[in-house]
Structure 1
């Protein structure tokens, strides 16, 4: 009964303002480790996703943080009290320091077109087979939409990697269009692939 209630609870993004200068572009695992150290009860929880922090890439493997940079956690609204103590915390991520401030709750909004910066599906490293696996996961969730691999700035396929404990994980940027409101919210809640706590498989509306 408890698991059913958790599954049906509405999801939101808890968005923390932050201060700091820069972070590694590949900071997903470091951010998750820092958050888990601060709030140990969330370690390994399947209901939690952690967005990559937005910033300006410097083409040297780092991003410059701006006034619009945020630490965002996607989670059921009834779990928010568990992570609210992160406000005021300071993190050291690979020698770069950031500090979090009072968060804002942003309820998920339906959009017919969503995108994820990177989706990682274990063992599916080539575009053709990856796309088939992504479509199969969408079907399993009962979501109808048109799936495609996103393009990078040069026009090629958006093939991306993240490093976790020294292991390289390969994924792709993904776009899904033609979603009805219910399926759009479901996809934002469940995501695709794995490594959601390290910034992967998290979908947001395309502006």
Structure 2
């Protein structure tokens, strides 16, 4: 598995844009909608504002995780303009990045059925990690500064009008093999719309 990383240009998109982005990507490349295809993506990067918008910046990217042999299927996205919840976003020419093992990984949002409360969420996380053969230690991410410092990062993604609740997750104490496996497999539900997508953890987020 590798990451195909597209530069993104545009104004702003809703902060909760995972499902509209999935629809736009599926319209351009139907393989995104195919459950048999191992295509996953992370939500766009940018700067969050107080109005529930994500402002795209010169460093904004769309990251698609896929088998190396599937890269040609996704290349039609290069130079493509997408409509994401009424916002026009243009994709540039992509670069290919190998997955990098890291002792700690994080995901912006992981969801489990009946995992709306932190204790139930962590129990489901540990069970799934065990199934994957990953012995890392999960922890729900908390806000590190601002008026909500110390509060857990409970997040919601809306799919066809339904609110799906989950949490920002950190998994630490990983071996190199476990780290790559977790990045390749993802975790939890709604992985086709960007949930459970792991990247090497930053010290603060």
Give the TM-score category using the shorter length.
Answer: over 0.9
Query: How many Å separate the matches in 2 of 1:156 and 1:135?
Result: 21
Equivalences for 1:115-194 in 2 at 5 Å? 115-153=106-144, 154-194=149-189
> Is 1:16 paired with 2:6?
yes
Instruction: Verify the 8 A CA contact 1:111 1:184 in the aligned structure 2.
Output: yes
Deviation at 1:18, TM superposition (A): 1.7
Where does the alignment leave 5 or more consecutive residues of structure 1 unmatched?
A: 1-10
**1:42 positional shift:** 2.9
- Separation in 2, partners of 1:152, 1:79: 37
Answering whether residue 81 of structure 2 is matched by residue 76 of structure 1, we say no
Q: Tell me the TM-score normalized by structure 2.
A: 0.93
1:8 matched residue in structure 2: none
Bigger mean CA deviation after superposition, 39-48 or 11-20: 39-48
Structure 2 counterpart of 1:47, from 38, 42, 46: 38
Contact 1:28–1:197 (Cα < 8 Å) also in 2: no
1:95 deviates by 1.2
| Aligned-pair CA distance for 1:201 | 0.3
Higher alpha-carbon deviation: 152-161 or 25-34? 152-161
Name the CA distance, whole Å, in 2 between partners of 1:22 and 1:205: 25
Q: Distance in 1 between matches of 2:183 and 2:32?
A: 20
Aligned to 1:202: 197
- For normalisation by structure 1, the TM-score amounts to 0.92
C-alpha contact (below 8 Å) 2:48/2:54 kept by paired residues: yes
Partner-residue secondary structure (3-state), 1:109: coil
Give the C-alpha shift of residue 44 in structure 1.
Answer: 3.0
Which stretches in structure 2 are left out of the alignment for 5+ residues? none
Q: Tell me the distance in 2 between the aligned counterparts of 1:98 and 1:49.
A: 19
Deviation at 1:59, TM superposition (A): 1.1
**Over aligned residues, Cα RMSD in angstroms?**
1.0
1:41 Cα deviation from its structure 2 partner: 2.9
* In structure 2, distance between residues paired with 1:62 and 1:24: 4
Give the SS at the match of 2:91. strand
Match of 1:7 in 2: none
Q: Which runs of 4+ in 1 moved over 6 A?
A: none
Name the SS for the 1:19 alignment partner. Answer: strand
